[in-house]
């Protein structure tokens, strides 16, 4: 009886330790993904490389990509692009900035790359998007 009791206590202790370790690891992954998320959100206007975000968090780039995707179902680069595009969309609707000014203020290196990505995402060029929505707002 004593042997079985000791064995059960040992198994319970191991299970508890394993669960605690996994929970801490998951919490750390969630926290790192969240920190990367907020960093991208705050700095999307700047040139950002995911490699630099990973280094800032003392993580391997591939590991950051994996935990970010697990948390948000999108890669950090995709999230950065989506954030830039949605901000640009807002500026097209509510500012008088030129397409070039919007592209640069949203972190795009070139206007042509911005137009290409915007057109793919919203199925129309930024200029057409602005024209159609200005007409609709009147």
Angle between helices 76-94 and 126-137 (to 10 degrees): 40
Least Cα distance to 105 among 40, 38, 48, 46 occurs for 46
71-83: per-residue pLDDT in tens? 999 999 999 999 9
Provide the residue count of the chain.
Answer: 138
- State how far the Cα of 44 lies from the Cα of 115, in Å rounded to an integer: 17
Give pTM, 2 decimals: 0.78
20-58: per-residue pLDDT in tens? 554 544 567 788 999 999 999 999 999 999 999 999 999
- State how far the Cα of 86 lies from the Cα of 80, in Å rounded to an integer: 10
In 3-state terms, what secondary structure has residue 54? helix
């Amino acid at each position: 009886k004593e042997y079985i009791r000791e064995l059960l206590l040992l198994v319970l202790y191991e299970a508890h330790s394993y669960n605690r370790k996994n929970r801490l690891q998951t919490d750390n992954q969630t926290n790192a993904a969240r920190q990367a998320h907020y960093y991208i959100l705050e700095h999307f206007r700047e040139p950002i490389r995911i490699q630099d975000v990973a280094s800032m968090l003392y993580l391997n780039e591939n590991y950051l990509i994996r935990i970010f995707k697990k948390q948000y179902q999108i890669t950090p680069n995709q999230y950065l692009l989506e954030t830039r595009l949605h901000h640009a969309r807002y500026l097209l609707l509510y500012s008088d900035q030129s397409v070039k000014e919007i592209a640069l203020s949203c972190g795009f290196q070139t206007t042509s790359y911005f137009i290409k990505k915007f057109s793919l995402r919203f199925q129309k060029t930024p200029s057409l998007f602005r024209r159609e929505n200005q007409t609709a707002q009147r």
